[in-house]
Amino acid sequence: MRGIGLLLAVLMLALPHAGSARELLHEERVIPAADERPITFYVDRPAIEEKVPILLWVDGSGCAGQLREMGWGSYAPKADDPVPYARVMVEKPGVEGATPHGEECSATFHRYYTIQNRVLDHLRVLQHLGAEADWWNGQIFVWAWSDGGDVAAQIVTYRPDIDRAVLGAMGGGLTMAEHFEQFWACPDDGTYDREACLADLRGDFARIEANPNGTDMWNGESYATWASRLRTRLSPLLIDNRVPILIVHGELDFENTPVDSARQLVTDLQTADNPAFTYWEVRGMKHAWGNLSEDRQIALRQAMLGWLLTGEVDEAQVRLAVEGQ
């Protein structure tokens, strides 16, 4: 085993695919972060001699594990994929891989789950694989959703060698603090004392940012987590970006990430004449695609993956996915 002290655990399972000679390999590895935290990550890839690209799958918020059952799709590679790839998923701190949604989050998760740590952990895993993965052809494709979109936008910023990235349901043009102030907690609808509401809310923000710890909680998550989110605005970073990105957002997203935030990001990129982005606003979709018809869900998943791996799309498939026709 190479890299003693870097590679702490390896688990490999060969999974034969019915009707195909190609096998799939599953690897689980643990490497240290710079602060000595363990970073667990998983690699699923075809057992073939040719080198393959990495599809870095970046999860959203919460302490569900990366190996949980995911009915809405996790782009696990299949034995008969026309473009073979290795999916890489980086586990969240203090989380077991199979943890389902709804489980109580650990103290370790609350202490260390921040946007910045997630960015650094993914960068660290890519660095490790660059040194150790003899099966990797050097290409990196990124697919991310919600909190993961925020994380992935920053990964793209600091790894300009990434080939393409899908950034879904992340907003980006407005900060999380602005989401609360303008849409969720203190909307300007003329029905109450908005200035008092803003004063209370900003008092909460000030306490969070003055002491971003993992034990005090606000709206179900730690001060550490919220402090890492409140002021993030992705427009300046993505204006300077030249990696091709596909921004995807639901027309009806409001409670999780208001679509107005994605629209502001697009306006900012257009105003700056940024040449590297495409925007799909999915008609009738909320934060994820579970409320769409099954044929549109399938079309959207396939269209995003096709764009990611090839840079091209089936226009009829995109129309069905995005417009519903």
Which of 272, 300, 275 shows the shortest CA–CA distance to 286?
Answer: 300
Q: Are residues 160 and 180 in the same domain?
A: no
**E strand intervals along 47-94:** 52-58, 86-90
Same domain, yes or no: 77 and 200: no
Helix (H) or strand (E) holding 150: helix 147-158
Out of 194, 209, 229, pick the residue that ends a domain: 229
Do 61 and 197 reside in the same domain of the chain?
no
Number of domains in the chain: 2
pLDDT values of the chain reduced to their tens digit, one per residue, 325 residues: 333 333 333 333 344 434 445 799 999 999 999 999 999 999 999 999 999 999 999 999 999 999 998 876 789 999 889 999 999 999 999 999 999 999 999 999 999 999 999 999 999 999 999 999 999 999 999 999 999 999 999 999 999 999 999 999 999 999 999 999 999 999 999 999 999 999 999 999 999 999 999 999 999 999 999 999 999 999 999 999 999 999 999 999 999 999 999 999 999 999 999 999 999 999 999 999 999 999 999 999 999 999 999 999 999 999 999 999 8
Instruction: Write down which residue in 187, 207, 229 finishes a domain.
Output: 229
Whether residue 161 sits in one domain with residue 196: no
Residue 255 included in any domain = no
Residues 123 and 20 in one domain: yes
Same domain for 137 and 120, yes or no, is yes
* Same-domain pairing of 50 and 151: yes
Instruction: Note if the pTM is more than 0.75.
Output: yes
| Domain span including residue 161 | 10-168
Q: Which two tokens mark 168?
A: 């879904």
> Domain for residue 123, yes or no?
yes
